[in-house]
Amino acid sequence: MNGQYLIELFSFPNPPSRVTRPEVTGLRHIAFGVKNITEMKAYLKSKNITTEEIRIDMNTNKKFFFIADPDNLPIEFHET
């Protein structure tokens, strides 16, 4: 199904604590694939959204970075 997506989220009132990022507050994270990671980072910064530095995934050799949502949960952008 090209272009159609379904996301189901679960929320728990007392999630187990996690000691590493991005695995915080019982939620791992959501990720979005983007064609050009540098353009996405520049776009987000133009909207005054704080971004982490671009890193390279050691397994895929693809570029990625994180931002934080209003609850300080991680959102990943990963180059496709």
CATH of the domain at 49: 3.10.180.10
Please indicate, yes or no, if residue 74 is contained in any of the structural domains: yes
pLDDT higher than threshold 80 for residue 40: yes
- Measured CA to CA, the distance from residue 75 to residue 26 in angstroms comes to 14
Please indicate, yes or no, if residue 7 is contained in any of the structural domains: no
Please indicate, yes or no, if residue 13 is contained in any of the structural domains: no
Please indicate, yes or no, if residue 40 is contained in any of the structural domains: yes
Report pLDDT for 50. 96
Tell me the pTM. 0.69
- Measured CA to CA, the distance from residue 68 to residue 61 in angstroms comes to 23
Please indicate, yes or no, if residue 14 is contained in any of the structural domains: no
Confidence grade of residue 77 (pLDDT, cut at 50, 70, 90):
very high
Report pLDDT for 1. 42
Residue-range definition of the domain harbouring residue 72: 30-79
Sequence-distant (≥ 6) Cβ neighbours of residue 64 within 8 angstroms: 31, 37, 54, 55, 56, 57, 76, 77, 78, 79
> What would the two tokens of residue 3 be?
């272009």
Please indicate, yes or no, if residue 24 is contained in any of the structural domains: no
Number of domains in the chain: 1
